[in-house]
Amino acid sequence: MLNLSLIKHTKVYQEAKEEGKQEIVVEVVPKLLQRGLSLQEIAEILEVDVEIVRKAARQT
């Protein structure tokens, strides 16, 4: 049986993790922008590149 540390290194796990992170960014960015945070501040809080935040902001 695979243990958790081995599963975390699989491609499927990594892709699912990244997809989940992107969904959170798309959901949270508009809320943080409404509260007056800048794109740079949001990127720092979420620990993602500012371009990812910019794209999420355009989707709203």
Cβ neighbourhood burial of 42 (10 Å; 0-12, 13-18, 19+)? buried
Domain boundaries, the chain: 23-60
**pLDDT of res. 31:** 97
Low-confidence ranges of the chain (pLDDT < 70): 1-2
Residues 9 and 19 sit within 8 Å (Cβ to Cβ): no
**pLDDT of res. 53:** 96
**pLDDT of res. 45:** 95
The per-residue pLDDT for range 44-54, each reduced to its tens digit, is 999 999 999 99
**pLDDT of res. 2:** 58
Q: What is the value of pTM for the model shown?
A: 0.72
